[in-house]
Amino acid sequence: MLNDAKIKAAKKTGKPYKLGDGEQLYLQVTAEGARHWRMNYTYGKNPKGKPAQKTLSFGSYPSITLLMARAKRDEAKALLRDGRDPSVERRVANRAQAAANGNTFETVARRWHTLKTPGWNAVHAADVIASLERDVFPEVGDLPITVLKAPKMLEVLQKVEARGAIETAHRIRQRVSAVFVYGIAAGLCDADPAASLGKALKEVPKAKKQPSIVDGARDQVGRLTAIRQLLIDCEAERCRAATKLALRLLALTAVRPGELAGARWAEFSGLDGPAPLWTIPAERMKGDKDRKSEEYGEHLVPLSRQAVDVLRVLRPLTGHLALCFPGERHVHRTISDATLNQLLRRAGYYQRHVPHGFRAAFSTYMNDRPKGERHEGDRAVIDLMLAHVPKDKVEGAYNRAGYMDRRRELAQEWADLLLDGFWPPEVHSDQPIRWAATGSGRP
């Protein structure tokens, strides 16, 4: 049997342990020293036909005293004697209370989401509500927001963490915390139990830099040789011509892979003239909703002769469609994010280079040219070409279309270096896209 002295003497040991009181009531002491009342009981049958083991939580000591915990245990046992499941009865009571006051966690969370959605882009808004629907609402969505405490919310987050999604668990904690903050402001609850739970979760692994083939090269010759060999190896693979053309255009323009995947024929202009241009709309660019809604927020990409050649060869393949690089099965959807990654993997560049790595290759090589090959201010111009958002957004909006002559020169210099002596892009037309099922097969 427990008494207050024994309970107060229970200290953290670095490992969780239990102190029994009697009749299935016990005190769960966590590794950090928190003390929670629990009661084990059996009710019904599990899928194997054996008595189902269940646990009730009565709250934490000292908020719930020993006498109070015993009273709750006795109430639960009375329900069991009547043939009722205490856990179900608790949920029924909670749901009834929630229906009366209309502030279940899910209800409040959806109000919060509706309030915040106008300030987010559509993709982020959809991701936020999807994460709550997947990982939070099934666990606590039907419970009143006022009854949710830190231990229960930690349990929800640890289930996400247990499947290896550590970063997702931290992200959901932030969203859950924001719901509670909204609830406090709206007078629906008094505290945010998720506020400090980040410290109880595993640390988020440090983000790995996206690999580029130039990372290990120490000089300019090595960098250029590496990126050229990568293109040679990838274009030697068997796949759809549009996929190889997409990879070449990505290497030439150094845009983000998502911007390339969503390219539309209507975005290109002047392809037959001296100043061909790719205008990527602001809503397709990286950034928050304010960035995407800027009146003159489009990204201007001057095209080299070689980039125009790629588009000229691509037009007979997809020019009758809106998208330049549609998916293989659904022409109204963009090429899959995995398509170019798979080509790089098949060519032997797994974990050595990803589609995003072409941006690093362009930036590293062009910024490290000898002084005689660089102009003053080229670094800022290259940042513009990469659509890096400047700290001064007003200056950034003013300069977005600036330095176009120099940007066009740099784009052409890069293309000349990258594809010097390369075969023209039309060699990829009418080439086999797969290895034969019989015969010698892949060399």
Of 177, 188, 171, nearest to 104 by C-alpha is 188
The percent of the chain in helix, strand and coil, each rounded to the nearest 5, is 50, 10, 40
Based on the residue annotation, tell me whether 286 is a catalytic residue of this protein. Answer: yes
Who contacts 88 (Cβ-Cβ below 8 Å, separation ≥6)?
A: none
The residue from 35, 73, 244, 356 that is catalytic is: 356
Q: Are the CB atoms for 232 and 335 separated by under 8 Å?
A: no
Dihedral sign, Cα of residue 129, residue 135, residue 136, residue 138? positive
Q: Are the CB atoms for 80 and 86 separated by under 8 Å?
A: yes
Report the phi/psi class of residue 383: left, alpha or beta, with left for phi > 0 and alpha for psi in -120 to 50: alpha
Secondary structure of residue 181 in the 3-state scheme: helix
Q: If you ran DSSP here, which 8-state letter would residue 272 be given? A: T
Secondary structure of residue 340 in the 3-state scheme: helix
The residue from 359, 406, 407, 408 that is catalytic is: 359
Query: How many residues in the chain?
Result: 443
Whole-angstrom CA distances from 340 to 62, 231, 250, 348, 411 are: 58, 12, 10, 13, 22
Sheet holding 17-22, edge to edge: 17-22, 25-29, 35-45, 51-60
Tokens of 42: 């059996």
Based on the residue annotation, tell me whether 359 is a catalytic residue of this protein. Answer: yes
Based on the residue annotation, tell me whether 124 is a catalytic residue of this protein. Answer: no
The residue from 8, 202, 286, 379 that is catalytic is: 286
Based on the residue annotation, tell me whether 356 is a catalytic residue of this protein. Answer: yes
Rounded to whole angstroms, the Cα distance separating 14 from 192 reads 26
Secondary structure of residue 187 in the 3-state scheme: coil
The residue from 175, 223, 248, 256 that is catalytic is: 256
Who contacts 86 (Cβ-Cβ below 8 Å, separation ≥6)?
A: 41, 43, 56, 75, 76, 79, 80
Based on the residue annotation, tell me whether 388 is a catalytic residue of this protein. Answer: yes
Based on the residue annotation, tell me whether 95 is a catalytic residue of this protein. Answer: no
Catalytic residues: 256, 286, 356, 359, 388, 398
